[in-house]
Chain A
């Protein structure tokens, strides 16, 4: 599913992390912990392919979902237009309306994302990450901007996907990911 050996990423002369070994099977959940600046978000971006690795080997599934606090959505597109775009670009397992319903955004489907609250944007990003039934889900602080209702929706969605064999890598969410099977602590 996901294997990494000796994974490292450097910005200039400074190593953000180095020598990371990972092995995740379907249904596994890896919780990545660490202080601010320890490289958690960078690690997830490297695994997602948004940043190139400096060293090491990485094998990951093609179908992966990624959601992060600093991932921006289009302020001038509606929620449903985001899902339609995703569907046309990579093919989706469910309709845009179903995806938005799954994260409790049905009522806001036709509002532009620029008018969403930060919690609604987090739900939209999760819907985008889940819409194509990924084999691997990468979540950078998935419930950081969410209220109680949002946290419950996210927790249910993740539990559901994990039962279906999706491997999950998440950062700093020990409350909602108490069922993590693996733990990685980044410390600098």
Chain B
């Protein structure tokens, strides 16, 4: 990756951060949803520790919906606001995609740290394999960021883009959730580390596949005529 590409990716990510910091509705929505969901789960399991697999499932689903709130901020909102044409004129599809994905990833990682800490603290779920849990959460955040960006970018140009983003995202996100549960449950004390490694590698491969294929696929989808 050349220094020009890195500078372009950083410029797009910085643009996303500036827009988000000033508008704030996306951050607030994601934050409020996350905290409400985790607090609700803590109340629901008050006085009893959820079994490791259930805890892994609850955390994975909460993180999934937190990621889904990031979809509009990737590509769909650009099309709705009419600013996608400006981006198309200024930059390359590959670096625009990667810059947007970088922003989503950083935000998701931050949300994952906050959410997981809250979850473990409020539900008193013991962390048996902290390394597995942290690695699993990082891999899950990466997979979610790539898939959410991929689905948003793929659907952005369509007339029924919101529906299409869901239709594309759902079959891609469900396997990621299953794989994430496979890793996180080991972190919470169920199953074996070897199983977590297998699920973790599958999760990572899934994310890498979306990460690698999206930018080049987009060039053909964005209506550019080069």
A interface residue numbers (CB < 8 A to B): 46, 48-53, 58, 66, 70-77, 81, 84-86, 88-90, 112, 128
Contact = CB atoms under 8 A, between A and B. Distances in A.
Contacts of B8: 88-89
A50 B88 contact: yes
A76 B86 contact: no
A90 B82 contact: no
Contacts of A53: 225
B49 interface: no
20 contacts: A46-B225, A50-B85, A50-B88, A50-B224, A53-B225, A71-B86, A72-B81, A72-B86, A74-B86, A75-B81, A77-B19, A85-B11, A85-B12, A86-B90, A88-B7, A88-B10, A89-B11, A89-B95, A90-B90, A128-B89
A49 B11 contact: no
B223 A52 contact: yes
A90 B83 contact: no
A112 to B, nearest CB: 7
Given A88-B8, A88-B11, A73 B86 contact: yes
A50 B82 CA distance: 12
Interface string B194-226: 000000000000000000000000000001111
Contacts of B1: none
A71 B224 CA distance: 16
Contact of A70 (B11, B82, B90, B92): B82
Nearest to B92: A89
Contact of A74 (B11, B83, B89, B226): B83
Contact of B85 (A46, A72, A90): A72
Closest 3 pairs between A and B when the two form their complex, measured CB to CB: A72-B82, A88-B11, A89-B91
Contacts of B83: 72-74
A89 B22 CA distance: 22
